[in-house]
Structure 1
């Protein structure tokens, strides 16, 4: 999936436990795990808003886009420069 979820990065920067974040944003630890592991199919704006408020960050600090072919393109460029 081209959307990467960086909640773990923000949790580490804030020195916060997953359970604490789940309590503060009002979702279950299981649902937060689904989101942070990239298995969620959608995220509510209210959840994203709560994440940004609690973690004191912007949506782009939590979510980023990485095209599916990005890794393959980098590998191809490396091989081209080696030859």
Structure 2
């Protein structure tokens, strides 16, 4: 898929465990893993906004386009 999710990069920069992020965002660790591992087909804007708020970043820090 040409959209790459860099949640793991932001987690490393913030030195935050996956479980902590999932709890603060309000999603299950399993759903966060699907997003983090690039298997998600969609993401709600409310989830993206919560991720940005907790990680103190912009949507462009979490998503990027890589053409095939």
| TM-score by shorter chain over 0.5 | yes
Aligned equivalents of 1:37 and 1:59: distance in 2? 17
Q: Alpha-carbon deviations, 1:46-82, whole Å to 9, x = none?
A: 00000000000000000000001xxxxxxxxxxxxxx
- Structure 1 unaligned regions, length at least 5: 69-83
Aligned equivalents of 2:17 and 2:51: distance in 1? 13
TM-score (norm 1): 0.81
Q: Which has the higher contact order (CA 8 A, sep 6+)?
A: 2
Across the aligned residues of Structure 1 and Structure 2, the Cα RMSD in angstroms comes to 0.3
Q: How many aligned residue pairs are there?
A: 68
**Which structure has the greater CA radius of gyration?**
1
TM-score (norm 2): 0.99
Q: Aligned residue for 2:64?
A: 64
Aligned equivalents of 2:41 and 2:10: distance in 1? 21
Using the TM superposition, give the Cα deviation of residue 31 of structure 1 relative to its aligned residue in structure 2, in angstroms.
0.2
Q: Which runs of 4+ in 1 moved over 4 A?
A: none
- Structure 2 unaligned regions, length at least 5: none
Q: Which has the higher helix share?
A: 1
